C-alpha cells in the first residue's frame, strides 16, 4: 500500500480513538467537563474573616468563620445559600457527615440572614461555624463560581480538594471520605 | 434606487450596532481612563458561569462581582497585569480568554502551525511524486508483449 492511501485511514483511526475515549470519559456517570480545576489546590486557604449570620441567637447560635479557624483539624468547607436548590439536595449528606464527626464549616453565600436561619432550622445545622459572606467577596477569594462548592481542607489549613456542585451519595464514599481519611493520616503522621 | 439604498442600510445596520455590554451604570468608574482599562481587562476575562462569554458581556452575578473587583483593584492603583494576576490567582488560567503561552498550553498554541506545516509538506511530497511518475520514461514493450497485442488487435479486426 502506498503511504498516501494509509494516511487518511490513519488520521481517521486516531480521531476515532480520541473522540471515543473522550465520549467514554464524559458520558453518563463520567467526569463533568464544565467543572474547572481549582487554582487553589494545595495552597493555603485564602485570608478571610466573616461574621456569624446576623440576627438574634436562637436555635442557630453559630460563630463566624475566619482563616485561622481552619488550622488544627481536617475539615470540609461548604459554600452554600438558602436560595440554591442543589444546596438543599446536598444538605442531608452534610448532616450525615457531621453526625459521623466530620468538622464542616459553612460559608453562607449572599444570603439573607433570616432565610439562612430558616433553612438551617428546617433542615438541621451540620456546620461547626458559619461565616456570612453577604457580599460574596470571600467566595471570590476561594475561587468559587458555582454553588454549592465543597473544599477538603487539611489540618495545616491547606486546600486539598475542591468539589463543584452538590456532593452525591456515591461521591461521599468514592471521593470525600478517602480524602478526609488521607488528610487525617497525614495530620497524625505530622504529630 | 430607493430600494437599493434600503437594502444597503439593512446590511450596514449590524456593522454599526455596538455589542451590548453588561456593565451597569452604577459600576462605571468616574475616571474615564481607568474605566477604559477596566473594560479592556474585563473583555479578556472569562465569565466562569457562562464560560463562553467575557465578564464584560455577561449578566451573571459572578461576572458583575468580578467586574467590580477589577475596578476596585485598578482604583487601588494596581497595574493591568496585577489586576489580571489577582483574578488568575483565584480562578486559574482558565479565566483568561486568551490562554497564556507556557509548557502546558504548548500544543494549543503551536498545534495548528504544526498541522499546517505537515499539510504543506504532504502536498509538496505528493506533488513531487506525481511529477516524477509522469516524467519517468516508459519501458519499451518486449517482443512477447508486442506479439500479444498484435494478436488481440487482429482478432478484433476480423469481426
Check CB contact under 8 Å for A145 and B49.
yes
Report pTM.
0.72
Residues 6 or more apart whose CB falls under 8 angstroms from that of A152 comprise: A74, A75, A76, A159, A160, A161, A162, A163, A176, A179, A180, A183
Check CB contact under 8 Å for B66 and A140.
yes
Q: How would residue A92 be classed by pLDDT, with cut points 50, 70 and 90?
A: very high
Most confident of A59-68, A157-166, B6-15, B94-103: A157-166
Confidence at residue A123, expressed as pLDDT on a 0 to 100 scale: 92
What digits encode the pLDDT tens for the residues B70-122? Answer: 999 999 989 999 999 999 989 888 889 888 888 878 888 899 999 999 999 99
List chain A residues with CB under 8 Å of B69: 137, 140
Which one of B90, B122, B126 has the shortest CB-CB distance to A140? B90
Confidence at residue A43, expressed as pLDDT on a 0 to 100 scale: 87
Which one of B51, B62, B91 has the shortest CB-CB distance to A39? B91
Predicted ipTM of the assembly: 0.76
- B 120-139: CB under 8 A from A: 122, 126
List chain B residues with CB under 8 Å of A7: 122
Nearest residue of B to residue A142, measured between CA atoms? B90
Check CB contact under 8 Å for B90 and A40.
yes
- What are A189's three cell numbers? 503522621
Going by C-alpha positions, the residue among A118, A106, A109 that lies closest to residue A55 is A118
Strand ranges inside chain A, DSSP E = 49-50, 65-66, 75-80, 103-109, 129-133, 149-153, 159-164
The answer to whether residue B94 neighbours chain A at the CB level (below 8 Å) is: yes
SS3 category, B117: helix
The answer to whether residue B119 neighbours chain A at the CB level (below 8 Å) is: no
List chain B residues with CB under 8 Å of A141: 90
The answer to whether residue B150 neighbours chain A at the CB level (below 8 Å) is: no
Amino acid at each position: 500500500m502506498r503511504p498516501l492511501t494509509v494516511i487518511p485511514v490513519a488520521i481517521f483511526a486516531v480521531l476515532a480513538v480520541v473522540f471515543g475515549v473522550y465520549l467514554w470519559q464524559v458520558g453518563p456517570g463520567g467526569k463533568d467537563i464544565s467543572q474547572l480545576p481549582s487554582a487553589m489546590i494545595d495552597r493555603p486557604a485564602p485570608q478571610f474573616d466573616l461574621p456569624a449570620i446576623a440576627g438574634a441567637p436562637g436555635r442557630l447560635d453559630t460563630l463566624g468563620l475566619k482563616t485561622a479557624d481552619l488550622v488544627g483539624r481536617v475539615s470540609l468547607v461548604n459554600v452554600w445559600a438558602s436560595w440554591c436548590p442543589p444546596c438543599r439536595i446536598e444538605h442531608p449528606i452534610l448532616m450525615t457527615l457531621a453526625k459521623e464527626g466530620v468538622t464542616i464549616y459553612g460559608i453562607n453565600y449572599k444570603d439573607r440572614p433570616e432565610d439562612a436561619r430558616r433553612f438551617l432550622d428546617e433542615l438541621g445545622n451540620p456546620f461547626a461555624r458559619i461565616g456570612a459572606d453577604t457580599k460574596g467577596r470571600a467566595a471570590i477569594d476561594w475561587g468559587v463560581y458555582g454553588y454549592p462548592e465543597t473544599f477538603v481542607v487539611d489540618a495545616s489549613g491547606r486546600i486539598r480538594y475542591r468539589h463543584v456542585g452538590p456532593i452525591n451519595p456515591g461521591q461521599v464514599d468514592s471521593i470525600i471520605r478517602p480524602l478526609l481519611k488521607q488528610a487525617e493520616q497525614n495530620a497524625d503522621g505530622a504529630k | 434606487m430607493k430600494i437599493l439604498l434600503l437594502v444597503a442600510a439593512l446590511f450596514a445596520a449590524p456593522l454599526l450596532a455596538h455589542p451590548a455590554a453588561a456593565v451597569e451604570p452604577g459600576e462605571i468608574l468616574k475616571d474615564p481612563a481607568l474605566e477604559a482599562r477596566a473594560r479592556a481587562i474585563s473583555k479578556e476575562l472569562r465569565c466562569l458561569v457562562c464560560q463562553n462569554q467575557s465578564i464584560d458581556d455577561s449578566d451573571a452575578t459572578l461576572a458583575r462581582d468580578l467586574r467590580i473587583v477589577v475596578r476596585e483593584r485598578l482604583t487601588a492603583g494596581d497595574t493591568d497585569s496585577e489586576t489580571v494576576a489577582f483574578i488568575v490567582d483565584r480562578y486559574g488560567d482558565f479565566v483568561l480568554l486568551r490562554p497564556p503561552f507556557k509548557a502546558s498550553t504548548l500544543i494549543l498554541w503551536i498545534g495548528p502551525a504544526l498541522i499546517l506545516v505537515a499539510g504543506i509538506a504532504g502536498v509538496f511530497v505528493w506533488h513531487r511524486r506525481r511529477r516524477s511518475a509522469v516524467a519517468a520514461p516508459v519501458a519499451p514493450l518486449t517482443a512477447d508483449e508486442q506479439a500479444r497485442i498484435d494478436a488481440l488487435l487482429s482478432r478484433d479486426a476480423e469481426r
